Amino acid sequence: MSVTGKSSGGGGRKNPRLHQKVKTARGRKTSSTKWLQRQLNDPYVQKARAKGYRSRAAFKIAELDDKFKFFRNNMAVVDLGAAPGGWSQVAVERCKGNSTVIALDLLQIDAIAGVTLLEMDFMDDDAPEQLCSHLPEGKADIVISDMAPNTSGTPSVDHLRIMGLVEAAAEFACEILKPNGSFVCKVWQGGADRDTLRALQKRFTKVRHAKPPSSRKDSAETFLVATGFKG
């Protein structure tokens, strides 16, 4: 990757254009070049590197917690779709004391201090049991989910896959959450579907959609935050 940066010119004159450009290498698609250029100039990517976060996505869960205050001390946390581990890092930082953080993903995650890592598919039949076996008394205070399916390129198919993951995560949360627990989940295309939203509204005191500042404006993602689990 070749990177050029524009800096101060001669005679002490400052050039305000510090935007980094990525040269298109032979064989590299234009879309890949644009993605690299966006990454290089994304302030959240730079902040994530400075703070030691695995990804810029860490700021999404941090900003949601700043707004809704769902992380507390001495919590049992389940992180679904955790790779590369940014959300778990924030959970460890914000849940002090005798807290437990369990992170699950299909992909391998490098070790994170204070986090138990499970490399498996959440949709496997034995995944919920495996998760519960690592939780104190088999219960959690919060379930957070950044899961997303592989896209097919067909909007209708992708929507069904996304909603299937949201529904599965919501059902799991309602099975293992302690009273007054919380559920935070990434959703797409306007939020959770009507049936899932209604079901959650019956089980939680408050159910809201939110898009944190670190979520790119051109992204279809938004987040569902359900707090005050009724049991």
Q: Is the confidence at residue 182, as pLDDT, over 80?
A: yes
Give residue 40's pLDDT: 55
Catalytic residues: 186
Structure tokens at 42: 């994304």
pLDDT digits (tens, 9 = 90+) for 47-76: 889 888 999 999 999 999 999 999 999 999
Q: Which of 32, 30, 95 is nearest to 61 (CA)?
A: 95
CA 204 remoteness from chain centre: 21
The CATH number of the domain holding residue 187 is: 3.40.50.150
Q: Are 88 and 32 within one domain?
A: no
Q: Which of 4, 24, 23, 25 is nearest to 15 (CA)?
A: 4
Angle between helices 30-41 and 43-51 (to 10 degrees): 60
pLDDT digits (tens, 9 = 90+) for 5-52: 323 333 444 443 334 444 445 554 555 555 455 555 678 888 889 888
Pairing of strands 140-145, 76-80: parallel
Residue 84: asked if its preceding bond is cis (omega within 30°), the reply is: yes
Q: Are 9 and 70 within one domain?
A: no
Is residue 208 assigned to a domain? yes
Is residue 71 assigned to a domain? yes
pLDDT digits (tens, 9 = 90+) for 91-136: 999 999 999 999 999 999 999 999 999 999 999 999 999 999 999 9
**Of 102-106, 138-142, 176-180, 212-216, minimum mean pLDDT range:** 212-216
